[in-house]
């Protein structure tokens, strides 16, 4: 099959296929006498594997490691387990971060329940307070380092 067919079959952009070839994640295809690349079912399967790993947000370096194991079916899979455990830890950390962000935005949104002028907007007041290093609805405790920032504003010549 040609590269366009491979791209359509896997949902991977042609440029990405070229990138994977250059990165040696995907073997170079054979070429016909007129120079066209010819991809096989093995290319399709490997590209689908790579795409699935990327959909799981596995970094390319880790995908490369997984491909080594795929190419060596007798290898011990303990390292694969560790790789997935590490990826799971990253996802859990991002989830916790996103949940904290959600709580902050909910708290911020709670500062302005009804429409009125921008000068009376509780959300804007909270954002300005935070910009000045003061406590706000989304960051109740003053953050470190802002006292220096405030003193710099008051006396820019130091």
Q: Is 147 helix (H, G, I), strand (E, B) or coil?
A: helix
Integer angstrom CA distances of residue 53 from 6, 46, 145: 17, 11, 41
The answer to whether 29 and 40 have CB atoms below 8 angstroms apart is: yes
- Name the CATH architecture for the domain at 3-72: Orthogonal Bundle (1.10)
The answer to whether 104 and 94 have CB atoms below 8 angstroms apart is: no
> Does residue 144 carry a pLDDT above 80?
no
Q: State pTM to two decimals.
A: 0.71
Burial status of residue 47 (CB atoms within 10 A of its CB: 0-12, 13-18, 19 or more): buried
The 10s digit of each residue's pLDDT in 13-65 is 999 999 999 999 999 999 999 988 999 999 999 999 999 999 999 999 999 99
Where in the chain are the domains?
Answer: 3-72, 82-154
């Amino acid at each position: 099959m040609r590269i366009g067919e491979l791209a359509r079959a896997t949902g991977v952009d042609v440029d990405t296929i070229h990138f994977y070839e250059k990165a040696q994640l995907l073997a170079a295809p054979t070429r016909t006498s007129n120079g066209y690349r010819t991809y096989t079912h093995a290319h399709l399967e490997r590209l689908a594997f790579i795409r699935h790993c990327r959909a799981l947000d596995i970094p390319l370096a880790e995908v490369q490691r997984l491909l080594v194991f795929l190419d060596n079916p007798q290898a011990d899979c303990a390292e694969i387990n560790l790789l997935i455990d590490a990826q799971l830890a990253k996802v859990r950390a991002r989830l916790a971060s996103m949940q904290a962000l959600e709580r902050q935005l909910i708290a911020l949104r709670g500062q302005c329940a009804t429409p009125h002028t921008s000068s009376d907007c509780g959300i804007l007041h909270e954002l300005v307070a935070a910009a000045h290093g003061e406590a706000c609805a989304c960051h109740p405790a003053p953050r470190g380092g802002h006292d220096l920032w405030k003193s710099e504003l008051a006396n820019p010549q130091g």
